[in-house]
Each structure stands twice: as C-alpha cells, then as structure tokens.
A = this chain, B = another copy of it.
Amino acid sequence: MSSQLRLAVDVMGGDLGPRSVVPACVRFLNRFPQAELELFGPQIQLQALLDEQRQPQLHGRLHITSCEQVVTQSCNPIQALRHKRESSMARALQAVARGEVQAMVTSGNTGALLALSRSILGTIEGVRRPALGKSLPAEAGSCFLLDLGANIDCTAEDLLQFARMGIEAQWVHTGKRDLRVALLNIGAEAHKGTEEVRRAAELLEKDPAIHYAGFVEGHDIFTGVVDVVVCDGLMGNVAMKSAEGVIRLMGQKAFTIERKSPIKRFFGQLAIKLLRKWRTQVEPARYNGASFLGVKGNVIKSHGGASSEAFYRAMITAKECAEADLAARLGRAMAQVKA
C-alpha cells in the first residue's frame, strides 16, 4: 500500500451542500500534500465552485465523479436502498467497496447512510450490529460515545460489541492504551437501569480485554473519568444532541445579555471573543465526524448542518480512520474474539 491518502467525499446532502464542502476540501488538500480527494456530486455545480476557489495547483489531486442523484433528508432507509443506488452517497460508498479510496465522508441523511453502508460494504464478520460512534470533548481529553442512533434497542451482547469497537476507535483518535469503558445509565448503583444494561455490565466485567469502569451518568461523558461510554442508540443520540443544544443556548445567551452601558458593551465584546474561543474547545464543530463502526470500510458521518470548518474536522476524522485503517482493525479485533 502506498502512503497516498485517498478519501471519497459525498458533496451533497448537508444543509449547506457543496458550498460548505468544497472550501473544506480545498483546505484539506492544502494542509495534507499527500492527500487526494474524489468528489461525488453534480459536475457542473462542483466545477463552478472549484473555479471560484482559484486553486489550479490542486487539480491533479481533486477528482470529480459526476452524479446527479441526491439522497434527500426526507428519504427513508428503504427508499434509499431501492431508489438511490446512483446517488452521490451510494457512489462514494462503492468507491470504498472497490478499494479506490480508504474512507468516505458525507453529511447526508444518517438513516440512508447506515442502510446503504451495510448493503454496499457488508458487515464485518462477527459483528451483530454496526454502530455509530464519536469522540466528544472531556475535561481530560476526550471520550468516545457509541451508539449515537444506529440501533434503537440493543441487547447486552450488542453493548459488549460496541465496547470492543469503541476501544479500537478511541485508540485510533488518541493513541491511548488501557482505555476505561463504562455503560451509560441513570445512576452509578448496580441495581439501576434496564435488565439489558445490567446484563451488559456482567459481560463487560467478565471480559479480560476490557477495562470496565462501571455505570456512568450523562454528565460523566464530559468529565473524562472514562475513555469510552457505551449505550443504545436512543440514549447516545439524546446525550449528544442535548449537549449540542445547551452549548448553542449558552452562546445565544452570551450574545443577548450585554447591551447596557458602552463600557459593559466593550468588555462584553472582549468576553464574547474569548467565549467563542472557549466554545471551539467543546462545540460540536470541532468534534465533528462520527464513524460507522462494524461495516467493511471507513465511513464518516459529518453533522448535517455542518459548516465548512465542521466538515473539515470530519475530514480529519476520516483521515485518522483511513491511516489506521480502523475497519481492518475492527475486523481483526472481532476475529480474535471469535477465536
């Protein structure tokens, strides 16, 4: 394998479409000279946006595969599987399947992405259910949370697999060993939670490959007391979205309160500048890019409302997954468990 990094980018599907994706791609190529990108989307529109960027030196490293079909936000997984095989999202996944690229990034419809990924790439042998996971900011570093919404209800065995996959993924992002794994619950006491989560606690406790740290609550995701937090897709989705919501609320409050005296406004402006900087430490944009773990290929989901900055961050996540070949690592890890 050459040291060349090749990523597929689905430029359609996010709320802002190619307008936020194309500048992120240009920035990525300028930052990483060994990278090449394969863009999937409408040729004419893409070419016009690229021309606007005036970066002729990148031409040889930026390829366009034209596709006019788009997966909309309202498309459900079944419709995607039946009618969206020629979409920019499906074509980008096909490039992963054929080994032409090491990872793909999209900000498109999550449900369609999960369904198309499973269908086009296939599931890693031994994986019961692929899961969506993401590294979130914590007081001490970061914490990998999964599942973020791919699986609505999960058995204890599913949660055990999520733990194993989460460990591999968080290793790729942090390089840390002996990662502490916890189960998300509504209390730290052993008698709390559903039967499945209590059964999962027993399975994790018994697994010699897992450093199990017990139950944690929602706030512990952000303290850094553990490195991987495992839960079903409902809880994970709610945890991540609620955190995003309250961060946004805090920004909004900051921008509306200080309107009093000129002096207060002056210091208010300074404070807002600092606040913006602090926010970037924790805000979703900086921690953008969820990995779909358990399919035979590296698939990165960017936030649907991703700005150019956020999409760029998702591309960095894709680069990390591609360079460590996370999907192959997961394949080996799951084979070891079976053996």
A83–chain B nearest beta-carbon distance, Å = 16
**Interface SS, A side:** helix
Complex Cα spacing A49 to B297, Å: 64
Which B residues lie within 8 Å of A152 (CB)? 186, 193-194
Binds B, one of A21-29, A246-254, A314-322: A246-254
Would you call B137 and A249 a contact (CB within 8 A)? yes
Determine the residue in chain B with the shortest Cβ distance to A284: B219
- A281 shortest CB reach to chain B, Å: 5
Q: Is the CB of B233 within 8 A of A219?
A: no
Q: Are B246 and A247 closer than 8 Å at their CB atoms?
A: yes
Q: Which of A28-63 contact B (CB under 8 A)?
A: none
- Would you call B234 and A186 a contact (CB within 8 A)? yes
Supposing A217-B241, A234-B234, A246-B243 touch, asked if A268 and B279 sit within 8 A by C-beta, the answer is no
Interface residue? A209 (CB, 8 A) = no
Contacts of A235 in B (CB 8 A): 234-235, 238
Q: How many of chain A's residues have a CB under 8 angstroms from any CB in B?
A: 59
Asked if B242 and A221 sit within 8 Å, CB to CB, the answer is yes
Q: How many whole Å from A255's CB to the nearest CB in chain B? A: 9
Binary interface profile of A, 151-195, with partner B (CB < 8 Å = 1, else 0)?
011000000000000000000000000000000101101011110
Report the minimal beta-carbon distance from A338 to chain B, rounded to whole angstroms: 31
A277 to B, closest residue via Cβ:
B257
> 0/1 per residue, A200-222, Cβ < 8 Å to B?
00000000000000000111111
Interface residues of A in 125-143 (CB under 8 A from B): 137-139
B189 lies within 8 A of A74 (CB): yes
**B274-A245 in contact (CB<8A):** no
* B186 contacts A237, C-beta separation under 8 Å: yes
Chain B residue, CB-CB nearest to A137: B249
Q: Which residues of B contact A257 (CB under 8 A)?
A: 277-278, 281
Of the candidates B184, B231, B282, which one forms a contact with A253 in the assembled complex, judged by CB atoms under 8 Å apart? Answer: B282
Question: Given the interface contacts A152-B186, A218-B241, A239-B218, does A249 sit within 8 Å of B138 by beta carbon?
Answer: yes
The answer to whether B218 touches A238 (Cβ under 8 A) is yes
Q: Tell me the smallest distance from the CB of A263 to a CB of chain B, in Å.
A: 11
Q: Which residues from B are CB-within-8-Å of A4?
A: none
Would you give the 0/1 interface string for A254-284, flagging 1 where the beta carbon is closer than 8 Å to chain B?
1001100000000110110011011101100
**What are some 19 contacts across the A-B interface (CB < 8 A)?**
A76-B189, A137-B249, A138-B249, A149-B186, A152-B193, A186-B233, A186-B237, A217-B241, A218-B241, A221-B242, A222-B245, A223-B245, A223-B248, A235-B235, A240-B242, A243-B245, A247-B250, A250-B279, A268-B274
Q: What would 10 more interface pairs be, CB under 8 Å, given A110-B187, A249-B282?
A: A111-B192, A193-B234, A217-B238, A218-B237, A218-B245, A223-B249, A253-B282, A254-B275, A271-B271, A271-B275
Give residues in A with beta carbon < 8 Å to B.
74, 76, 110-111, 137-139, 149, 152-153, 184, 186-187, 189, 191-194, 217-223, 231, 233-235, 237-250, 252-254, 257-258, 267-268, 270-271, 274-275, 277-279, 281-282
Q: Lowest 3 CB-CB distances: which A-B pairs, in order?
A: A218-B241, A219-B245, A218-B242
